Amino acid sequence: MKKILFFLGIILLANLQHSLFFKNNNISDFIFLYSQNNDLIENIKQLNRKNEELDMEIKELKSSTHALENFARYNLGLVKEDETFIQVIYK
């Protein structure tokens, strides 16, 4: 009886080891998904920082006419009526 239980235990252990290393959702899949998850978390953190910067810029543009004027000048190339626009191109 003990020999039969021992061999059944060995067969069960071998089956579990086979599942762990060779079937779907094995250890290599886990390691790949874990590293991919870490990469995605880092990407999300970078996007959140960029969103915070853009939110601060939006709040500044909404609250200050001076900031809005500077944004229009530098990003849209707008000038006032009596001004001459000179664009300097660096190489």
Q: Which of 48, 66, 68, 49 is nearest to 58 (CA)?
A: 68
Instruction: Return the pLDDT at 8.
Output: 84
Instruction: Return the pLDDT at 85.
Output: 67
Task: Give the pLDDT confidence of 26-77 residue by residue, as tens digits.
Answer: 777 888 999 999 999 999 999 999 999 999 988 887 888 777 777 777 777 7
Query: Quick count: other Cβ atoms within 10 Å of Cβ 60?
Result: 14
Instruction: Return the pLDDT at 45.
Output: 98
